[in-house]
Amino acid sequence: MVRPLSPLPRPLVEGAFRVRDAREGGLTRSRLRGSDLVRPFRGMRLPAGADGLIERCHAYAEHRRVDFAFSHLTAAILYEAPLPRLDDPPIHVSVRAPGRAPEIAGFVGHKLSAWATVERMGLPVTTPEQTWIDLASLLTPTDLIVVGDFFVSGRQPLTTRESLARAIAVTPGRRGIARARRAIDRVRVGTESPDETRLRLLLESAGLPAARSNLEVFDGDRFVARVDLAYPDARVAVEYEGDIHRVDRAVWRRDIRRRERLEDIGWRTVRVTADDLARPAELIARLRRLLPSA
């Protein structure tokens, strides 16, 4: 007969805790090996089922407490940046040089000379500028630009394009810095989705003229529409349509009205889906026909 596990004290049920503190509180070694607990690393426990990346970050913060910051991919995740799919990524932790970087299974340690941190989700993280530079050695050029667009766009941008450029200028010789220098020229303010960035980069890579991002189109003084990408000289709008444009009835109706208003003043709308990003040949050929300058 399997004996049921004794209940944990309430503070321990709610998050990460130190083995030492639990032992002082009366928990036995055998209880700390219970199946309802997870060992993220030596000296710490987490409730089973609450051992995702964010919970493991909090466990590490409880363990170390001072003189560190989450960085690289982990910082980007905490900023909720659009990253390529990551299956069980390691946790990146940076310390101020010449401090000792952590050597723990499932963690990647780094040392940083330039040291500045902010708080995100109750955790210390490297600044958006430092995070973006650190990502340059880990992401493809396209994914790096996608994250750059995310950092400088939105209603409350995390940073500015100028701040990213300054961070590059004061970080010579760092791994990935050449890629960051090339990427910063292609980062754009005002981008509203990762796929919009990928679409813009796809068109540029195909040799098409540079499109205007999120252009507001007017008919005289009357506002007509705001379009994802625009070639105003050719009166061509390129709109990326994710699944919400298909499944949300209100968005679908609004799209129709906007497209008709654009057509009324002589604009052509090219609608783009994920299939076009995956197989872009037909899309590129269509735009070449519509753009005299192409």
Tens digits of residue pLDDT in 275-286: 999 999 999 999
* pTM (2 d.p.): 0.84
Whether residue 13 has pLDDT greater than 60: no
Ranges of beta strands (E only) in the chain are 17-18, 37-38, 44-47, 69-70, 91-96, 107-112, 117-120, 123-126, 212-219, 222-231, 236-240, 268-272
Q: Classify 276 in phi/psi space as left (phi over 0), alpha (psi -120 to 50) or beta.
A: alpha
Q: What is the pLDDT of residue 247?
A: 57
Sheet containing 17-18: give its strands across. Answer: 17-18, 44-47, 37-38
Domains of the chain are 10-60 (no CATH), 66-184 (no CATH), 194-290 (3.40.960.10)
State mean pLDDT over 25-51: 82
Alpha helix positions (H), 79-160: 128-135, 141-152
Cis peptide bond upstream of 98, omega within 30: yes
* Token output for 110: 């780094």
Phi then psi for residue 78, to 5 deg, are -65, -30
| 151 within 8 A of 157, measured Cβ to Cβ | yes
Q: What is the pLDDT of residue 74?
A: 97
pLDDT digits (tens, 9 = 90+) for 253-271: 888 898 999 999 999 999 9
**Number of alpha carbons in the 13 Å side-chain half-sphere of residue 138:** 19
Between residues 224 and 38, the one the model is more confident about: 224
Q: What is the pLDDT of residue 1?
A: 44
**Lowest-confidence region among 53-62, 90-99, 178-187, 230-239:** 53-62
Name the helix (H) or strand (E) containing 166: helix 161-169
Confidence of residue 221 (pLDDT cuts 50, 70, 90): very high
Confidence of residue 206 (pLDDT cuts 50, 70, 90): very high
Q: What is the pLDDT of residue 4?
A: 63
State mean pLDDT over 175-183: 94
| Contacts by 97-103, CB closer than 8 A, 24 or more apart | 99/67, 102/60, 102/64, 102/68
Q: In the chain, what is the straight-line distance between the N-terminal and C-terminal CA atoms, in Å?
A: 77
Mean pLDDT (the chain, rounded): 88
